[in-house]
Amino acid sequence: MTRSLWSLGAAAAAACAAGGPAATPTSTAAAPTPATTRTAAPRAPEPMRYGPSALRYVVHRRLHIQQALGGQPQSQDLGAQIFVAVLITGPSDSLGYRASFTVDSVVADSGTPAAVAVSMTRARRLVFDGRLDGRGEFHNPAASDTALAQSLIQLLGNFRDFLPRLPAEGLKLGAAWTDTLSGTQRGGGAVVTRRTIAHSAAAAWEDRGGVHSLRVDIGASYTIQGSGDGGGQPFELGGTGSVSGVAYVAADGRYLGGESRDSSSLTVSFPVQGLGIPVIQVTRSAVAVLP
């Protein structure tokens, strides 16, 4: 049985494709001295939710895939910079805001296999249209080229999880919340369901590219289950993974990017051959707003 690292990695990757003003101190008869005078820090409007905006991002995504074929360990590293334009338009209705994610271009990292790098360049002007709610979930994403979108699922996903989730009551400093998410994706010859439990906390106000923004710390664990057919060979896959990262949201509700690390341990099984192949995948992503 012959099975390329890229095709198995793609199947595995498909599985892994997120108050009021402060109280005023009681005054005293004596005027405060300069040493005790306090100036309140500027407060952002709270709570915050996503709304209409037009932004461009660069996403640097790096995948490390390690597996054992015939008892021989093999590894592959893939990477690319993905340039994405995100347009969210109002007014919203019961389904949310109209939203589109347009892939302007994909530039492969040096060292990425030539055949893979060529396939990445085909993503230019690939568009995902859908509806975005105020919490950040991208509903019913529809790709302008379904076949192309599925072939690049390991790098692009479907942008359903591009924006970090916000709490239902809106984002504010000190908020902590848990999301239980479930989604199914097709790609790499597989149909895969991923169930995630994510814990998030709005940790602190920080400067992000010169913009006052709220840092959201995110930690998640997930399970994966799926099956598919690769070159006439049916297979099943399953496993677990974890995600850690940070995201930044401006006071006006704009997503300003962040960083994350996604690590998974899977087994790809071929029932006909009675063969199981362990696969470890680590994906590192960094998102930044372009001028």
Span of 14-23, 44-53, 92-101, 166-175 with lowest mean pLDDT: 14-23
**Side-chain-facing half-sphere of 128: CA atoms under 13 Å:** 24
How far apart are the C-alpha atoms of 163 and 245, rounded to whole Å?
A: 13
Domain ranges of the chain: 5-13+51-289
Q: Which residue has the higher pLDDT, 68 or 109?
A: 109
Q: How confident is the model at residue 237 (pLDDT cuts 50, 70, 90)?
A: very high
Q: What is the CATH number of domain 5-13+51-289?
A: 2.30.230
Q: How confident is the model at residue 11 (pLDDT cuts 50, 70, 90)?
A: low
Most confident listed range (2-6, 138-142, 232-236, 282-286): 282-286
Asked whether the predicted pLDDT for residue 19 surpasses 90, the reply is no
Which pLDDT score, from 0 to 100, does residue 111 have?
81
Which pLDDT score, from 0 to 100, does residue 110 have?
87
130, 142 contact by CB (below 8 A): yes
Which pLDDT score, from 0 to 100, does residue 124 have?
85
Kindly write down the DSSP assignment for every residue of 179-235, as one continuous string: EEEEEEEEETTEEEEEEEEEEEEEEEEEEETTEEEEEEEEEEEEEEEEEEEETTEEE
pLDDT average, residue stretch 214-220? 98
pTM of the entire predicted model:
0.81
What is the rounded (10 degree) CA torsion for 183, 185, 190, 196? -30
pLDDT in tens, 21-59: 333 333 344 444 444 344 344 554 568 999 999 999 999
Which pLDDT score, from 0 to 100, does residue 53 have?
94
